[in-house]
Structure 1
Amino acid sequence: MVDDLPYLARGAKPIPTDSSVLVSSSRYLNAPRLRDWLAGAFLRKSGKDSPTALDAHKLYGILADVFDIDRIEALFTQERARWPELDRWFSEGFSSNFTVDELLGHPAGSLGHIFGRYLRDNGFEIDIVPRFEPKNQFQYFSLRSGQTHDLEHIVCGGGFDIIGELVPYFGRLSNIPRFLDAELVGLIHPGQLLGALRLVSRTGLHYPAAFPTVLRAIRCGMDVGEQSGPYFMAKYEDVFHLPLAEAREALGIVGAVDLDSREASLCWDEYKS
C-alpha cells in the first residue's frame, strides 16, 4: 500500500521497457564512457599516478560525442542575431599567438608579465589544447575558452593549484548564464560543470580539512562572475601591459579577490612531496 512506502519514495512510477540496455531521457546518462568517468572523477582520491588534469582531458574527449552540435550552432546563431557584441566577437574570430618571451617583455607586475613568469617558472606551455582552426561557432568558443583559461585564473583571483581551479570554474559558471540563452548555456557548460564539481566532491569526501577553502573559492569565483561583464569575449592582449588592478578594470572584471589556496591544495595526495 502507498501508506507503507517511505515518504521520499512515494510518487515513483516504474517505466516498462523492451530495451536490454540502460536507456534514459538524458543523453549524458546514456553515455557509458561518461558514466564511468563520473564514478572515477567524483569519487576517487588524487594520486601522482593519474593527475587530476588528466580528468579534464578525458572528459572533453567524451563530451565531444555527447554534445548536440547542431542545436548549439543554431542557438549561437540565434544569439548573434540578438546581441551585436557577440556577433562581432565571432566575426572577428580573434585567436592568440603571443609567445612567452613577448609576455616577459611587459613591465613587472603587469598582467602579461605575471602570466609569462608563471609559464616560464613552471615550464608550462601557453596552449592547454594545441591550436586548431575552428570549423564552427562552438569550436571557436571552445578554442578561446582554452586560450584564456589561465588568464582567467589571474584576473579572477584563483591560484594555480587544484583548489584555485574552482575560482575560474565558478566564475564562468555564474557569468556566462547572465548573457547567453539558458538552453545554450546548458548545452555548452557540461565540461565546466562536471569539471568543477569533481573537485568539490573529491575534496569533501577525502580531504575535508581543505573543504572550507573550497567553499571560499566557489564564492570568490561566483562574486566575479555575478558582477563582471562578459569576459569570455575579452581580448587580453590589449591589456597585457597594464598592472593587474588596471587590467581587471579595463576587462570589466569586478569583485576579484586573490585567494591563497596553496596550503589547502597540499591536502591532495598528488601535491604532497
Structure 2
Amino acid sequence: MTRVVLRRPGGVFGLAVLGLLVVGGVVSYWWTPFDPRAADPARAWLPPLREGHLLGTDRIGRDQFSQLLAGAGGTLVAAVASAAVAAVVGVALALAAVLAPRPLRASAVGLIDVLVAFPTLLLAMVLSAVYGSSLATVVAAIGIGFGVGVARVTRAELLSVLGSDYVLAARASGARTGRIVRRHLLPNVAPTLVVQLSLVMALAVLAEAALTYLGYGASPSSPSWGGMLHEQQAHLAARPLLVIWPGVAVAVTVLGCNLLGDALRDAGDPRAVAAR
C-alpha cells in the first residue's frame, strides 16, 4: 500500500505535510527562534524578515514564526489524539452494533443514529462550558463526534465481512467471537478504518482551530493557530499577513490530510490500483 500511495502526487503531498507537522511540533517543544509567549512592545508590528523575525511580529512584539511553530505541536496532538479517540469509539460502537445480542445491537444502532445528528462543534462547546476550555476537552469532543461517523462506516464493512465464507466457516468450526474479531474482522476493515481516520485528522485540525478561534479551545496562553486568527482579526485590514500565516497553515494541513486519505482509499481499492 505504501508504494501505491507514493506513486500518487496527493499521497506524496499529504505525507510531506504530515512530516512537516510532526517535525515542527516535536522541534517546538525544545526550540523556537524566539519565545512564542514573550511580548516585546518595542518590536511590535515588525514586517517579515526584519531583525531576525522570519514572519514578523504581532501587536505586542511576539514572533509569528515561533508562534506558528509552537502551534503545530498543539495541532499535531489534537489531530492524532482525536483520531485515536475516534478509532476507539468507532470500532467499539461498530462491533456492538453487529455482534452484541439483538436488543443491544438495536440500542447501539440507535445511539449511532442519534449521535450522528448532534453537531460535533456544539458538543465541544457544551463540554467546554461544563468542564472548562482545554485541549483535552476539545480532543474528547472531536473524537466522540467524528468517531460516530467512523462507527457507521465500520459497521457497514463489518456486516459485509460477517457474510463472507471464511467467517461463516470459522463460526461453523466453533471459533470464539474474540478470535473471529482479531483474525478476520479487524484486519479486513483496517484499510477502510485508516482512510477514515486520516479524514478525521483533517476535520480535527479544522475543528480545533475553529473552537480555539471561538474561545472554546486550548488556553489563551498556549500558542495555537486558531488563537492567532482570533487575536489578529481586529487588525485584519491593517495587517493581513498576520492572519494569512495561520490561515495558510490550517488550510495546507487539512488539504494534506484529505489528499492522503484519497491516496489511501485508492491504494486499498484493487480496481483503482489496476487502472493505474
**Structure richer in helix, relative to its length:** 2
TM-score, scaled to structure 2:
0.25
TM-score, scaled to structure 1:
0.25
